[in-house]
Structure 1
């Protein structure tokens, strides 16, 4: 008869699942091979190139915004002269190489400053066409062949400079209304291409244009002169990286790494990343720049081959699978199927008509008793019922209940056998200490990336301070309406500013835009960056700048106008969180001078300590000794507080050694779990644990399935069969499963009815028979 369930599907599924796990174990562990340069180092070099590209793009964007902001400011008195206007328009605090004012109608320069600006291919009339947005920067080549970045901005100047232009225009080709009050010019600023900032001993960095030409080169202090010269096989690498970055822009594949050939016992690892990748849609996205970083690393020693272990583990699991399947087949599946056939045979025997029974062939043949436990007990009960039907014996007393091992204990033993294979793989085998598994180069890369994160935070703070100083100059002597407009424009240009306000000499807020200040400075002096509070729910970080005295400015009529004042910008903590959050760097924290958390890439509470005392001790190693600025530190340690967490590669670096942010005493701390690194030792460990977990999971699932659909019904069926053999004719048996147990239950019910009919034929007192009970089974 077809079976919808039963004992066969769980056992077959268990065998197939365990064999599949064995195959995955052999394939997964056998394909892991030790590399002379681990993938973790190649990924780290790619991420270092991405960090450098992000810094380059941020720097170019900041310069472009500074030029546009300077061009949009109100021209000072006497700026009608083009030369004077140009001097006032050049942004302060930014590395400007040269500047020029162009007349968009003629394309001729009206004034120039600094080095000669390369204007080849610059169409001034097209750039200042009405209705266009911000003018994107572009690359150019100076007269000496050096690359330059050209920054553009539209400038509106008084028309008094028009007369001077006519005096200088010998060709006399200028036309127009001499009575115009204002005119629009084009400001072009030339900047040198800055080399990417790289960190780490022996690392070099290159900035490459879209044609593969190296624009700038940087190297760390420890880099030798020989390392700056690329090997012969790497001379085409800049062009190849530039082409790959340009081709990967539509798909987002704008970074990668290359492993060079070995020489002198070292191998060169090079990472590349497009500036447009980190810049996104900023001003630097269209320049086509690519950053290359590289360093030479010693190859790791040849590790053990895991193929033999994979084959042995997979073979052992195959043996376990076959052994468990044979045991379940011989002690559960085969006896239960035999019981199904024997019970059906007896049911056919009692269902034949008297003239068809003959010698009662179906009832004469004994019931074979196979297996142990519940199947054996059911077989003995069926044999007793057969003999009762033939009249050879009467009801047998129900045997006393004894705690003997049955099918449930058998399933438990099979589970233990599977666990004996899976548990060692899950907790014992292929465990390598992180101190030995993590190469020193990976620890150095974590330190280099932490230094880069500290540099990003430091540059952002210094840039905020520089731009705030420019805004302070614009506020000098400005009327209230104009001052408020300057503050609003400054906050629009700096989304990191949560609040901007002006303080008078007493420290009172006289003008404010943005959110409510967290805490104002008291009697500030000069300018800089400071941490306003040391407790509370939100850390208060502020940049401030002195507003120049406007005593001699035109229109200053009151003494209050010349009173010294300070403009303050509170920097949101969310901006610092975004700066330190980088892929592959792990958890990153920014701490104050007392090693308390100010910002982090993970959830934190303001001014909480670091999550581990080991991290705190690592940060303490970076503290500056008397007369020094502090040095970065890194180590492999336990960086978490939760039990069971593994080792991490941690690093700490001071925020700044010089500049306005040096006095803050901040540190940037990072911790990346060592298991997250793509190292062969951890890959083998993870796959070994996965194999053990899969074996335990499929073994538990299949044996649990077997217990639910076979063991529990079989134990219930055993009690019903023994009670029926012991003379219980009242309990009606209802099959509740469409499987072997249900078939045996249906046959037992037919046998019970035959026994009842036989007792009636023998003159049994039917009136004394109580109503049937429903203790065994339930209604279908």
Structure 2
């Protein structure tokens, strides 16, 4: 018999696969939830640290852009001294602690203001040379008192004093401004945030609410710094660490490096890492799944042994016996010389199997043996068929499905209301608040840019000089268009795309607003009043009054998007969608009424922005998923966006959380799917290579035993079934050669329906 054919390989492989599934069930399910802090909680802390690092990175880049804009638009007096220039520029930056004006060719400092600059480890000449005329990245240093400082660099062109007051030649200087390192905002009760440098030193920023780091904090900071700098630092790099355990609680920390956007080289890296930490409950909630995994695996092992025994006893062993019996009859019928006397003795009856097609073939062989020995005539083929080998396969399939289907659909189903711990819900709320902070930060920055531009436009005629507006549009791709309105609301001049505004009045004051209420794209704009050229002058009807900057909604979409936060929407005061990190229609309502109800709950008393809320949304026919963790947070408590009454709403599918309950559910389903796939594959294989040919062979054997001597039996399969087919063909030839009359029906013509060859399988 061939090694890879026949009836034995499918049965053996089915047994091996089911045993492998049982072992997989034990290994995967029993090892789930063995950690004392769930992986979902660790992932949330890592994401919160990444959000804080992103906020700090945006703040640093905004400060650097603001300094470059201030130096680019600064117009010094002809005879202004370098010290006066430094004092004037310091006045525009209230957070600056000190500044200095340097010659980028020699590094000589010509003027200073505020506290003394500490340039330890900073080479001004090398900084200017390495930037190749482009923007110089910020650097981290420490003041003389050991306080961390951020150094911002910007080039400024001033009249060359060596040429006299009337000289037109301008000289490039390097302005260096020192500012304190501020902590990024984080949310969540009991959570602390620290900044650490490349050596793991905790930077004491002097922010309110921070405490001196303990020895454990310093050890955790050193580990975080080492981990953060071990591999490539990107904007998406983050991780979590576990600290000391005490009184049933454990320190959980998240870390993320502050990496400049679009710059992966180490020369532009600040070397800062954000470290967040808090105390969480320590437990091993998944230890109880070990017993379930052991019981489930034991049941599957019993089913595998039972299925193997059934298939062996009802199919494999009877077929092998038929192969031996048919071979013995052929030797006896053809008088093979040298054969053992017992093997070719036609007088010995054929052992009859008790069930299915093997029993039919055995009875046919016994009838043929009797015909060869002149003991009887052709046998009568029974008209009624009993249960066959397909029933055996069906029973085996039912046994496997009885284990696999409950594992796949019923057992270990996670319920959101009980499976999601409160700390994960609180983390979703904290991250939603962080998303609201990012949106507010982005809108505030757009407002600041526009306010600075209005000072440049004061006294200018926009229709004659569009260069300041075009420069801002080029430097800030977050805008889709900039335009100036007169008192009647007409556009005097614009740069960029065609405005989307449908609200044409001229507002008073400055701030953030929406300039359309319908259409394909929501349009959010920052606006600021343009001061008159002469203080106190009354603007004429066609004088520029208000500068508008329409914000590209795609920029807000990217601001809302953060890894593992789920679907996030920015809604207006009527809870209509203005921006989202998923596809949406302009001004549509939230995709689930429960999200709208959650957003309504965040509304506070009159004159307040309200408070953030979170909830677990259980199974329902909702577009956001069957089970979700949702949260809503007001956009801003202060600033230009404070009066908008906008909300940031998020919803994350609970199944995406790496919680113990959901991990056990997926691994239970995987075990059921593997067992079901193994059963279907192997039983289907067995049906194709054994059961179907066996059914055809049983029919042909009964016809031969019933007197059909004309149908030639062609062996198709090179296995046990093919061997029996070859033996029956030799027996047919022996019966046809003898042509003995054995009964009244022996010489009747064979019906046309029986004149066919053996079917090919």
Q: Taking structure 2 as the reference length, what is the TM-score of the superposition?
A: 0.90
- Is the CA contact 2:618–2:627 (under 8 Å) kept in the aligned structure 1? yes
Alignment of 1:451 onto 2:433: yes
1:287-326 aligned at under 5 Å gives the runs 287-300=270-283, 304-326=287-309
User: Is 1:55 aligned to 2:55, yes or no?
Assistant: yes
Alignment map for 1:86-165 (pairs within 5 Å):
86=86, 89=89, 92=92, 95-104=95-104, 107-119=107-119, 123-129=123-129, 131-159=132-160, 163=164
Once the two structures are superposed, residues 453-486 of structure 1 have per-residue CA deviations (whole angstroms, 9 ceiling, x without a partner) of 1101110111111112222322334465874332
Q: Is the 8 A contact 1:53 1:278 kept in 2?
A: no
1:369 equivalenced with 2:352 (yes/no): yes
- 1:585 is matched with 565
3-state SS, counterpart of residue 652 of structure 1: strand
1:170-224 alpha-carbon deviations (Å, 9 max, x no partner): xxxxxxxx9552111111222221112111112111112234333345889xx7x
Q: What is the distance in 2 between the residues matched to 1:706 and 1:121? A: 75
Separation of aligned partners in 2, 1:269 and 1:3: 57
Q: Are 1:485 and 2:467 an aligned pair?
A: yes
Indicate if the aligned counterparts of 2:201 and 2:218 stay in contact, CA closer than 8 A.
no
Q: Distance in 2 between matches of 1:217 and 1:265?
A: 31
Q: Are residues 1:603 and 2:583 paired?
A: yes
The answer as to whether partners of 1:503 and 1:567 remain within 8 angstroms in 2 is yes
Question: CA deviation digits over 1:531-555, x for unaligned, max 9?
Answer: 22233222211122223323589xx
Q: Are the equivalent residues in 2 in contact too, given 1:66–1:91 (CA < 8 A)? A: no
Please report how far the alpha carbon of residue 121 of structure 1 lies from its aligned counterpart in structure 2 after TM superposition. 5.8
1:538 is matched with which residue?
Answer: 521
| 2:383 is equivalent to residue 400 of structure 1 | yes
Change (3 A) 1:552 1:777: same
Number of the residue aligned with 1:674: 654
Q: Which one is further off, 331-340 or 123-132?
A: 123-132
Alpha carbons 1:136, 1:283 under 8 Å: kept? no
1:637-692 per-position Cα deviation (integer Å, ceiling 9, x unaligned)? 23874599542222111111211112222211222233333333332232222222
**Larger mean Cα displacement after TM superposition, 442-451 or 710-719:** 710-719
Question: Partners in 2 of 1:739 and 1:589 — Cα distance?
Answer: 65
2:528 alignment partner, SS class: strand
Deviations 1:606-654 (A, max 9, x none): 3333232222221111122223221011122238745995422221111
Structure 1 residue 521: deviation in Å?
4.6
Q: Secondary structure at the match of 2:716?
A: coil
Out of 153, 176, 199, the position equivalent to 2:187 is 199
CA deviation profile, 1:260-288 (whole Å, cap 9, x unmatched): 22345543222222112877549994211
Hey, what does 2:244 align to over in structure 1?
Answer: 261
Say whether residues 1:702 and 2:682 are aligned partners.
yes
- Taking the aligned partners of 1:46 and 1:524, their CA distance within structure 2 comes to 46
Normalising by the residue count of structure 1, what TM-score does the alignment of the two structures yield? 0.88
77-86 vs 578-587, which deviates more?
A: 77-86
* Pairs within 5 Å for 1:642-661: 645-661=625-641
TM-aligned CA distance change 1:576 to 1:112, over 3 Å: same
Deviations 1:139-190 (A, max 9, x none): 23334442221111111123368647xxxxxxxxxxxxx9552111111222
Spell out the pairing of 1:394-433 with structure 2 (5 A cutoff).
394-402=377-385, 404-433=386-415
2:758 matched residue in structure 1: 777
Q: Is the 8 A contact 1:98 1:189 kept in 2?
A: yes
Give the whole-Å Cα distance in 2 for the aligned partners of 1:632 and 1:284: 40
| Kept after mapping to 2: 8 A contact 1:275/1:285 | no
Distance 1:354 1:691 in 2: 57
- 1:718 positional shift: 1.7
* Residue in structure 1 matched with residue 38 of structure 2 by the alignment: 38
1:171 match: none
Deviates more, 1:230-239 or 1:368-377: 230-239
Q: Is the 8 A contact 2:235 2:260 kept in 1?
A: yes
Task: Return the match for 1:623 from 579, 603, 607.
Answer: 603
Q: Secondary structure at the match of 2:684?
A: helix
d(CA) in 1 for partners of 2:498 and 2:480? 9
1:505 is aligned to 2:487: yes
Q: Is the 8 A contact 1:36 1:301 kept in 2?
A: yes
Would the aligned equivalents of 2:592 and 2:624 in 1 still touch at CA under 8 Å? Answer: no
In 1, are the aligned partners of 2:376 and 2:742 still within 8 Å (CA)?
no
- Alignment CA distance shift 1:438-1:285 (3 Å): farther
> How many Å apart are 1:343 and its aligned residue?
2.3
Aligned-residue offset at 1:399: 0.9
Shift in Å at residue 15 of structure 1?
0.3
Question: Structure 2: how far apart are the matches of 1:504 and 1:292?
Answer: 49
Match of 2:574 in 1: 594
- Write the distance in 2 (CA, Å) between the matches of 1:10 and 1:180: 93
280-289 vs 661-670, greater mean Cα deviation:
280-289
CA–CA distance in structure 2, aligned partners of residues 428 and 768 of structure 1 = 60
* Cα displacement (A) at 1:290: 1.2
Further displaced range: 324-333 or 204-213: 204-213
Classify the secondary structure of the residue corresponding to 1:306.
helix
- Match of 2:230, SS state, is helix
Q: Distance in 1 between matches of 2:178 and 2:623?
A: 56
Cα gap change, 1:631 to 1:577, in 2 (>3 Å):
same
CA distance in 2, matches of 1:282, 1:460: 26
Q: Do the aligned residues in 2 keep the contact of 1:203 with 1:219 (CA within 8 Å)? A: no
Please tell me whether the aligned partners of residues 29 and 310 of structure 1 are also in contact (alpha carbons under 8 angstroms): yes
1:757-772 paired onto structure 2 within 5 Å = 757-759=737-739
Unaligned stretches of 5+ residues in structure 2? none
**Equivalence map 1:217-228=2 (5 Å):** 228=211
641-650 vs 719-728, which moves further: 641-650
Residue 522 of structure 1 and its aligned partner are, at CA, apart by 1.4
Q: 2: CA distance between counterparts of 1:355 and 1:53? A: 90
Q: Higher mean Cα deviation, 360-369 or 2-11?
A: 360-369
Q: Say yes or no: does 1:736 pair with 2:716.
A: yes
**Alignment size in residue pairs:** 758
Indicate the larger mover: 326-335 or 18-27: 18-27
Unpaired runs of 5+ residues, structure 1, are 165-177
Distance verdict in 2 for CA 1:340–1:617, change over 3 Å: same
* Contact kept in structure 2, 1:80 and 1:161, CA below 8 Å: no
Aligned to 1:436: 418
Contact 1:46 1:257 in 2 (8 A): yes
Following the alignment from structure 2 to structure 1, what is the Cα–Cα distance between the partners of residues 483 and 79?
29
Please give the alpha-carbon distance, in whole angstroms, between the structure 2 residues aligned to 1:494 and 1:252.
Answer: 20
Tell whether the 8 Å contact from 1:11 to 1:706 is kept in structure 2 after alignment: yes
Contact 1:93/1:466 (<8 A) preserved: no
Could you say if the C-alpha distance between residues 358 and 676 of structure 1 is closer, same or farther in structure 2, counting changes exceeding 3 Å? Answer: closer
Give the superposition deviation at 1:451: 0.6
Taking the aligned partners of 1:520 and 1:65, their CA distance within structure 2 comes to 32
Over 3 Å counting, the alpha-carbon distance change for 1:134 and 1:390 in structure 2 is: same
SS in 2 for 1:568: strand
Aligned to 1:563: 543
In structure 1, C-alpha distance between the alignment counterparts of 2:704 and 2:170, rounded to whole Å: 113
